[in-house]
Amino acid sequence: MNLQNPIDATADDTVSTAGETSFAEILNEYEQQHRAPARTGDQALPALEGTVVSVTPDGVYVDIGRKHEGILTLDQVRDSSGQVRVKPGHTVRVTAGPLDDNGYHKLSTIRIVIPKDWSGFEKAFADKSVITGTVSEVVKGGLRVDVGVRAFLPASRSGARDQAELDKMVGQEIECRITKLDVEKEDVVLDRRSILEERAAASRQAAFDAVQEGVVLRGTVRSLMDFGAFVDLGGVDGLLHVSDMSWTRGVKPSDVVKIGDPVEVKVLKVNRDTRKISLGMKQLQDDPWTVALREIKTGDRVRGKVARVTDFGAFVEIRQGVEGLIHVSEMSWSKKQRRPQDILKPGEMVDAVVLTIKPDDKRIGLGLKQALGDPWEEAVKKYPVGTAVELPVANLAAFGAFLEMAEGVEGLIHIGDITHGKRLQHPKDVLQVGQIVRAEVTEIDQERRRFRLNMKKLEPTSADEYIGEHKVGDLVTGRVVDGRRDRVKIELADGVTGVCRMGEAKGAGPQASGGGGTDLGSLSAMLAAKWKAGSAGSGQAADGLKAGQVRRFRISGLDPGQKRIDLELAD
């Protein structure tokens, strides 16, 4: 196997005149500087620092400080996802090979050993050095590669993903390692995949080392999980947890991002030991709580969507990522115990009033009933004292009956104000829940938010019926009950009484005459009346009216409101 460098032979055989020798020396020096170094044993090609000039579909052009630029194949600078990892201006460490047909140095991103003979192959095998070879053909189970001798590259170690990629490799110069060497049988087996994996691992490590906490990066969503999404940051993945995707609670990763979406994320934490990167999207937005607590004030009316309902209340999202709690006690003015699930449903839009704000705890208390208006204020306007109402009985207690004047507003009818009839032992003796009753508002208790009602005042009495059936001037018969000298109580019917004012009725009694003398006629009449009725004593009223006596009277006045009947003697 002859691996002698033709450059070395040309240099050794150069013989000419002084002028020619000078030119040959110059030419030899030029070739030594701008072509691959001579192969001397199993030495590795020297490493060079180059600067990427441009990246094209044909390859990466690199300025290596020589007359001619070098070119890297794109496969040498791709990461595991297939993305090119270098850009113009980047510095790369390469080894330079000979000039190709287009006048560019063939470059490699790692040092390559070029074996000279079988001893060189043995050393490359022992050192696991990287060598170069050209794929000559596709054979059963892999590729035939010319590395100075015929070598076999198994398809499983070629780095190709399918048969089509194997076919494209024919004619390409590749980098590989010797994994099996039998000098006697001249059997050489190669491996290319391990080099690609090492290069990808090095690229990932470089990408990981470049990630710093607090920086904002652009990436692509690679996969979705129930707990979040993995984002490719260009050779290294970071976890975007669902809790760091949005300020809104209860979202799913699929609600926020999709596979393949470009995203902008902030690096929250980098664990160098476990090689884990934590990312966040919501951190690139203002904390909605900070904004809300700055703009929302106690007493404000807000509108939001019911996020979830619990046994003690409902959480309402009034802004993205900001929830307030409507406690069950603030849902209805009614005193009846009701479940939050019976009042509000998830997803329902509601209006509420801000009752409390606790900035340190990030808590906002809301009231649903306050947004509906206070029914007490409306009830007070609707039912002033003296108003007659017709309402159903809401509840019965031993001391009275309750009417619901409005939601959460009750009116009490004391047991003694229910009826004029017999004395009740319990309101249920004459009333039942749901029964419509008539009552008059007699009192409004602002402190206890309660109305006092009276049914008796609207219930017709015997006096009401008697007054309704009579008029002023009617002659009626009554029995004297009792009375003073000038005022006598008269029973006109069962439960109906009137008052006879004696002084006004007769005008009896001595009066002074205009001449100052005694009116003998009037005195005689008075004495006659006393003689007729007997001496007035206990139980006997003036003008001969005695308790139990039945006399005729004339109605002189009627007052339905006061249930008062005024009388005067008719004879």
DSSP assignments along 249-302, one per residue: TT--HHHH--TT-EEEEEEEEEETTTTEEEEESGGGS--HHHHHHHH--TT-EE
pLDDT of residue 152: 93
pLDDT tens, position by position, 461-509: 778 778 888 888 889 888 888 766 678 888 888 878 898 887 654 443 3
Cα dihedral 332/338/341/342 (nearest 10)? -80
Residues 6+ apart with CB under 8 A from 222: 229, 230, 231, 232, 237, 259
> Kind and range of the H or E element at 531?
helix 520-533
**Regions of the chain where pLDDT drops below 70:** 1-47, 80-81, 110-117, 335, 337, 421, 483-485, 503-544
Fold adopted by 118-198: OB fold (Dihydrolipoamide Acetyltransferase, E2P) (2.40.50)
How far is the C-alpha of 157 from the C-alpha of 195, rounded, in Å?
10
Residues 6+ apart with CB under 8 A from 128: 177
Q: To which residue do tokens 């019926």 refer?
A: 465
pTM reported for the whole predicted model: 0.42
* Closest to 70 (Cα-Cα) out of 45, 40, 39, 44: 45
User: What tokens appear for 46 in the block?
Assistant: 């020297």
Query: Could you check whether 211-284 and 375-458 share the same CATH topology?
Result: yes
pLDDT of residue 110: 62
User: What tokens appear for 535 in the block?
Assistant: 């001496």
pLDDT of residue 258: 92
* Closest to 107 (Cα-Cα) out of 44, 43, 64: 64
pLDDT of residue 341: 86
Note whether 123 and 42 are within 8 A (CB).
yes
pLDDT of residue 273: 86
pLDDT of residue 85: 79
In the chain, where the domains are located: 1-34, 35-108, 118-198, 211-284, 294-370, 375-458, 462-569
> Can you tell me whether residue 320 is helix, strand or coil?
coil
CATH of domain 375-458: 2.40.50.140
pLDDT of residue 508: 38
Its CATH architecture, for the domain 211-284, is Beta Barrel (2.40)
How far is the C-alpha of 114 from the C-alpha of 39, rounded, in Å?
7
pLDDT of residue 124: 87
CATH of domain 462-569: 2.40.50.140
CATH of domain 35-108: 2.40.50.140
Q: What is the DSSP string of 451-499?
A: EEEESGGGS--HHHHHHHH--TT-EEEEEEEEE-SSEEEEEEETTEEEE
How far is the C-alpha of 266 from the C-alpha of 421, rounded, in Å?
83
- Which residue type is seen at 15? V
Give the number of residues written for the chain.
571
Fold adopted by 294-370: OB fold (Dihydrolipoamide Acetyltransferase, E2P) (2.40.50)
> Kind and range of the H or E element at 238?
strand 237-241
